[in-house]
Structure 1
Amino acid sequence: MPENPYSQILFSAGCDSGVVRHCEVVASVASRFSGDSVDSELVRAGSMMHDIGRSVTHDISHAQEGARICCERGEREILTEIVRRHTGAGLDADECTLLGLSPMDCVPQTLEEKIVAHADNLVKGSTVISIEERMMRIADLSGRSKKKIWRLAMEVELLG
């Protein structure tokens, strides 16, 4: 059994070892941006829990599923929102609707939410990649989505 309590939660929710390892690497990357202006423990918790919804599905709805799981577990709202808002640079209510998700604002607002979303963008599986590589991997997304991801990266990178 893993020593990390967040890893234990992910395993008990039904996440596989690949998801848990991904979350551990995201937490490591996110720690680079956790200075005095953010709640470092919240960033760690959010980084570790952001993909708990992958215990249910690996499609785009995993973030909303993860938020639902966090609510059912009685997690703090601030942590639940990190999970809900971590996809790419976030999805607004219209984008959620177009993707068949519940129409809600899933755009990162707090620094902690932004750090987790950006760190997740920098990890493919359990491999750390550059923002440039991430941008190449999302070439098929809309220009608007790519701009949002780039702007998020530039904002968070200033913290590191």
Structure 2
Amino acid sequence: MKIENIDELIEDVYTQLNISDYIKDHSEAVYQRSKYITQHYDNIDEDLIKAGCKLHDVGRIVTSDIKHAYIGADLLRSIGIDEKICKITEKHIGAGITPDEAIENNLPDRNYIPETLEEKIVAHADNLVHGVTPVDLEFVIQKWTNKNMKKESIDRLIKLHNELIR
């Protein structure tokens, strides 16, 4: 996907949705962290990754809970943003959410597992940022353990990390 001016698109969304400085700063940190992952790849859509990183948390203007992912995707859809960016936003939670986990969390019946390389990179770059600080896999595992995340979610995180980081 080649977007004419990706930075202009991102700024336009930030303005239309009145995105907070904190969300912008966190999203910039996620974008910078994505470079740690993308250095291992030649054939990736850098514009899509940049847009995905910068727009993944727009749903936080409505809620900070797990629902921010699908709400953000729907907000982006409502203003005509490319569906590939919307899918990144929808699927960026953790290392993905299975259909059973979606039901447990009262999420709409959608696919929340990142499938494309770009979806996986943005989701994992987000995992590897705490606020605006880059963190490592061990930090994330400990954080998720402290939150009583299910073992299968942590296993999915480790699998995604091992798939992306060569």
TM-score, structure 1 length as denominator? 0.92
1:17 aligns with 2:25: no
2:164 is paired with a residue whose SS is: helix
1:111 aligns with 2:117: yes
User: CA 1:137 to 1:144, structure 2 compared with 1: closer, same or farther past 3 Å?
Assistant: same
**Distance in 1 (alpha carbons) for counterparts of 2:108 and 2:121:** 24
**Distance in 2 (alpha carbons) for counterparts of 1:121 and 1:147:** 14
Counterparts of 1:25-44 in structure 2, within 5 Å, are: 25-34=29-38, 35-44=41-50
Question: Do the aligned partners of 1:115 and 1:156 also contact (CA within 8 Å) in 2?
Answer: yes
TM-score, structure 2 length as denominator? 0.88
1:126 aligns with 2:102: no
**Distance in 1 (alpha carbons) for counterparts of 2:157 and 2:144:** 10
Q: Percent identity?
A: 33
**Distance in 2 (alpha carbons) for counterparts of 1:135 and 1:11:** 35
- Residue in structure 2 matched with residue 138 of structure 1 by the alignment: 144
**Distance in 1 (alpha carbons) for counterparts of 2:15 and 2:125:** 21
- Residue in structure 1 matched with residue 52 of structure 2 by the alignment: 46
2:37 is paired with a residue whose SS is: coil
Flag structure 2 segments of 5+ consecutive residues without an equivalent: 1-6
Deviations 1:84-131 (A, max 9, x none): 000000112221111011121110000000000000000011011111
Question: Do the aligned partners of 1:94 and 1:103 also contact (CA within 8 Å) in 2?
Answer: no
